[in-house]
Copies of this chain bind each other. A is one copy, B any other.
Amino acid sequence: MAADAGVIDLLGMLAYGELLAFDRMAADARLAPDLRRQALLAQMAAAEIGNYRRLADRLTALGVDPQDAMAPFTAALRTYHDNTEPADWPEALTKAYVGDGISDDFFREVARLVPTIALGDADRALVLDVLHHDDYAAFAAREIRACIAVEPGLADRLSMWARRLVGEALSQAQQVAQERATLTALLLDGAAGEAAEGLFRRLTSAHTARMTAVGLNN
B39, B53, B67, B74: which contacts A52 (Cβ < 8 A)? Answer: B39
Q: Mark A49-74, 1 if CB is under 8 A from B, else 0.
A: 11011001000000000110010001
Q: Is the CB of B39 within 8 A of A30?
A: no
CB interface residues, A 190-204, toward B, < 8 Å: none
Q: Is the CB of A23 within 8 A of B36?
A: no
Q: Is A131 on the interface with B (CB-CB < 8 A)?
A: no
Q: Is the CB of B50 within 8 A of A35?
A: no
Q: Which residue of chain B is the closest to A24 with respect to CB atoms?
A: B26
Q: Which one, A40-48, A115-123, A159-167, is touching chain B? A: A40-48
Q: Is the CB of A49 within 8 A of B43?
A: yes
A213–chain B nearest beta-carbon distance, Å: 28
B26, B50, B67, B74: which contacts A26 (Cβ < 8 A)? Answer: B26
How many Å lie between the Cα of A90 and that of B19 in the bound state?
21
Q: Is A97 on the interface with B (CB-CB < 8 A)?
A: no
| Contact partners of A23 in chain B: CB under 8 A | 26, 29-30, 38, 42
Q: Is the CB of B22 within 8 A of A46?
A: yes
Q: Is the CB of A39 within 8 A of B19?
A: yes
Q: Is A16 on the interface with B (CB-CB < 8 A)?
A: yes
Q: Is A27 on the interface with B (CB-CB < 8 A)?
A: yes
Q: Is A151 on the interface with B (CB-CB < 8 A)?
A: no
B38, B46, B66: which contacts A35 (Cβ < 8 A)? Answer: B66
Q: Which 10 A-B pairs have the closest CB atoms?
A: A26-B26, A46-B46, A46-B49, A42-B49, A35-B67, A22-B42, A43-B49, A19-B39, A36-B67, A35-B70
Residues of A that sit less than 8 Å from B by CB: 16, 19, 22-23, 26-27, 29-30, 34-36, 38-39, 42-43, 45-46, 49-50, 52-53, 56, 66-67, 70, 74
